[in-house]
Structure 1
Amino acid sequence: MPSPTQPDPSRTGRLREATRDVHAALDAALMERESFASRAGYAQFLAMQRGFHQTVAPLYADPALQALLPGLATRARLALVEQDMADLGLPLPAAAAPQPVSGEAAALGWLYVAEGSSLGAAVLRKLVSRIGLSDTFGARHLAPAAAGPAAHWRDFTTALDAVALDEAGENQAIAGAQAAFSHVAALAEQARSQAPHGA
């Protein structure tokens, strides 16, 4: 493991470092809004999640990306997010214009963000259990993979780190990850602004 003064040489490590600040800011904003303390707050979180997973769904279905990242298609969670919304009686808004993800390298950055959210879901599962949600009702998309979240993430990052990219591609992957976090933050703000007054 790299020392505190030695950067992580892996692509995953570089992506984590490049998105550390925007990731921390998003996490803080979601907790400040008490997104997991009530069903009203969680409804906003689900709206954000649906918008994001609508954007990344085509990446999970892309044959070229599937060839680079084995098992990618099985990791898609849009259908689970929509089932969670149905469980809670939430209407599915009309699909928004998708955020374009241009290029294979940038797509890897977006997928890094999407898959990373699965790793943090264990904490969120505990929080939403307090408001009556579970792996089979309302929080299906937060349920861990059969192999466990750590192994699921490790399989993904091993494949991600093995993809051959030149320097331009590395920069595009980083830009993609940063764009993904910015997109999620914008979706979170949109969900809050569209929530019923007082929710």
Structure 2
Amino acid sequence: MHPTPETDTESTFAKRLKAQTTVIHDTVDNLVMSVAPFDSKENYVKFLKLQSVFHKAVDHIYKNLELNQAIPELAYMARHDAVVQDLADLGEAPYEYGKPLPQETGNKAIGWLYCAEGSNLGAAFLFKHAQKLDYNGENGARHLAPHPDGRGKHWREFVEYLNALPLSPEAEAEAIEGAKDAFEFYKVVLRETFGLPEGAEAPAGFQPHRH
């Protein structure tokens, strides 16, 4: 029996991760664009503060020794330092988040890592918007710049290593739960950074204009 298209699309861990998080990922994208982070320097600074909190929350995952053995040069993919430098480029001090940050470990941390690396793949259109504000990979938008190997090639290599992790179905389920937690945390910090009400989502009928 040949696999159906639906079965085939969920044949790897990364594809299952994507399938299980697509809905919440879309709500994150819509919420980000609804606050117009590139409409002004003021909004962009808020966006950088948001990014700095999230990337600080995942920084220890990038430095995890076991994961670095499974995913070569993972530590060098971390972008928290780059976001801090972006803030400095704009004359802003490192942002101090007033609450304890998640320090996820184990299988859930893999889900957080998936979100962080996936955000770099999807940052191409964000990088274009930042360039319209005259920020680039050397000034103000360092953390949005593409990997030296290119976004697509780097992501494909990362996914290969991700799929090679020896995870049981139970471990995969924990990783997927971790990814969902990461997206939810991102939305919580976004609401606080941009002054939105608790639980706010993108306005009904909102259509993000990415291009």
**Partners of 1:3 and 1:17 in 2: how far apart?**
16
Structure 1 residue 73 and structure 2 residue 75: aligned? yes
Superposed, 1:72-151 pairs within 5 Å as 72-95=74-97, 96-103=99-106, 105-151=107-153
User: In the alignment, is the contact (CA less than 8 A) between 1:85 and 1:91 conserved in 2?
Assistant: yes
Which runs of no fewer than 5 residues in structure 2 stay unpaired?
A: 197-211
Query: Of 53, 56, 62, which aligns to 1:54?
Result: 56
**Partners of 1:109 and 1:81 in 2: how far apart?**
21
User: In the alignment, is the contact (CA less than 8 A) between 1:37 and 1:128 conserved in 2?
Assistant: no
**Partners of 1:15 and 1:132 in 2: how far apart?**
35
Query: Of 148, 153, 156, which aligns to 1:154?
Result: 156
Q: CA RMSD, aligned part only? A: 1.6
Query: Of 47, 59, 62, which aligns to 1:45?
Result: 47
Shift of 1:56: 0.5
User: In the alignment, is the contact (CA less than 8 A) between 1:35 and 1:42 conserved in 2?
Assistant: yes
Structure 1 residue 174 and structure 2 residue 179: aligned? no
**CA, structure 1 residues 158+90, in 2 after alignment: closer, same or farther (shift >3 Å)?**
same
**Partners of 1:160 and 1:38 in 2: how far apart?**
37
Q: 1:6-28: per-residue Cα shift (whole Å, max 9, x none)?
A: 34211111111111111101111
Query: Of 11, 21, 24, which aligns to 2:23?
Result: 21
User: In the alignment, is the contact (CA less than 8 A) between 1:37 and 1:127 conserved in 2?
Assistant: no
Shift of 1:4: 5.2
The letter of the residue matching 1:23 is: H
The letter of the residue matching 2:45 is: A
Q: How many residues align?
A: 192
Moved more, 5-14 or 120-129: 5-14
Structure 1 segments of 4 or more deviating over 4 A? Answer: none
Shift of 1:125: 1.1
The letter of the residue matching 1:100 is: Q
**Partners of 1:124 and 1:3 in 2: how far apart?**
35
Structure 1 residue 5 and structure 2 residue 6: aligned? yes
Which runs of no fewer than 5 residues in structure 1 stay unpaired?
A: 195-199
The letter of the residue matching 1:181 is: F
User: In the alignment, is the contact (CA less than 8 A) between 1:84 and 1:141 conserved in 2?
Assistant: yes
Shift of 1:3: 6.6
Q: 1:165-189: per-residue Cα shift (whole Å, max 9, x none)?
A: 1111011010011011111111111
Q: Percent identity?
A: 36
User: In the alignment, is the contact (CA less than 8 A) between 2:14 and 2:159 conserved in 1?
Assistant: yes
**Partners of 2:4 and 2:35 in 1: how far apart?**
35
**Partners of 1:163 and 1:29 in 2: how far apart?**
32
- Relative to the length of structure 2, the TM-score reads 0.86
